[in-house]
Structure 1
């Protein structure tokens, strides 16, 4: 295996964003005197994009299109204003990115977060590293586990899928790796457990960022 590039998931993999997500959605719920959720619950809600997050957060009686669309719009508004308040890189990620840049390993990001929010977070958190390509969910790309965004990254980096590793914290990420023909590596510091990662095709599972270098 000769890995020349890595496509990273963002939330739960590079960025610890759960507090900003939870705070924003809870604000939307509090504005309507609805029950809020704790951090651990939100970890089970994320991974499939903000539409799924909002739907999972609302009481079932308010998941109709009439109520849902208004809550989605409000969540996007609140989260956009607060998406980098508490969000930070996970421990060891900065050093990992230093090492990857030093070794000439190309880096890209493909997230199910809305594209404009993905771009905003990456611009702040990853400003010091050379990131070849960044894409989030939107009109230009289908959501993971569709491999479209991963394959766009491969093309941008002038690499074949077999030369790329896809690194993420969820089963959706591992399915994406498989669908794109990339080497899937699951991380345990994010929002999902080893069982989910293995069940969805993870080739390797790591518990610390530095371990990724052992698989390149």
Structure 2
């Protein structure tokens, strides 16, 4: 069994609990353009995952650019109020880093806000590579961002995992030829990604740590 030497993480919904922030940002904008149509966080759950361009263009192509602008303004203004790190994330990142595993963040989030979020949560130091919007031209599920991260880390596909909470993360992993691991601690369920056949699923960050330890010990628990 090939040892896991590189782990790529999504940010929103994987390392950071930003589900309410994302939902409230969508509701803020959509209430203006579609009054009364979207009223609960559950009503915009499907928008958590695809890029802003994809979501807003599908709703109103003519106003998509302005809606993205308003979304980002609200999201940035309320960012620190809503964002939290998921349980055990700092501890497991520190453990993986100490074990010599190369770590990267691969997100569609705007690079400046992504870096701020990592710093705000005090986990910035664990990552060798941080990729956000602007570092690549094609978003997940296109594997471009994963390929760029692996190139910068001089990583082998066979020894790389991609960790994420959305179908886009798992499909991107599959298309990049790496092991896609789905996390069940966010707002999407296994049913949402089952058709993409994730390599593994984990319920907690500690489960992920144990998975990597097991892989690197040849499958022994």
- Separation in 2, partners of 1:4, 1:139: 23
Counterpart in the other structure of 1:11: 12
In the superposition, the TM-score normalised over structure 2's length comes to 0.85
Q: Distance in 1 between matches of 2:135 and 2:178?
A: 24
The answer to whether 1:134 aligns with 2:135 is no
Gap regions ≥5 residues in structure 1: none
Instruction: Report which stretch shifted further, 158-167 or 67-76.
Output: 67-76
Other-structure match for 1:77: 73
TM-score between the two structures when normalised by the length of structure 1: 0.87
Distance 1:74 1:206 in 2: 35
Q: Which runs of 5+ in 2 are unaligned?
A: 213-221
**What is the CA RMSD across the aligned residues, in angstroms?**
2.1
State the aligned residue count: 210
The answer for the alignment partner of 2:29 in structure 1 is 28
The reply on whether 1:172 has 2:174 as its aligned counterpart is no
Query: Which residue does 1:50 correspond to in 2?
Result: 52
C-alpha displacement at 1:21, in angstroms? 1.7
Distance in 2 between the 1:196 and 1:109 partners? 22
User: Matched residue of 1:99: which SS?
Assistant: helix
1:24–1:79 CA contact under 8 A, matched in 2: yes
In 2, the alpha carbon distance for the partners of 1:41 and 1:52 equals 17
Deviation at 1:76, TM superposition (A): 1.7
**What residue in structure 2 maps to residue 105 of structure 1?**
101
Q: Is the 8 A contact 2:94 2:126 kept in 1?
A: no
Cα distance in 2 between the residues matched to 1:168 and 1:131? 16
Separation in structure 1 between the aligned mates of residue 124 and residue 132 of structure 2, nearest angstrom: 20
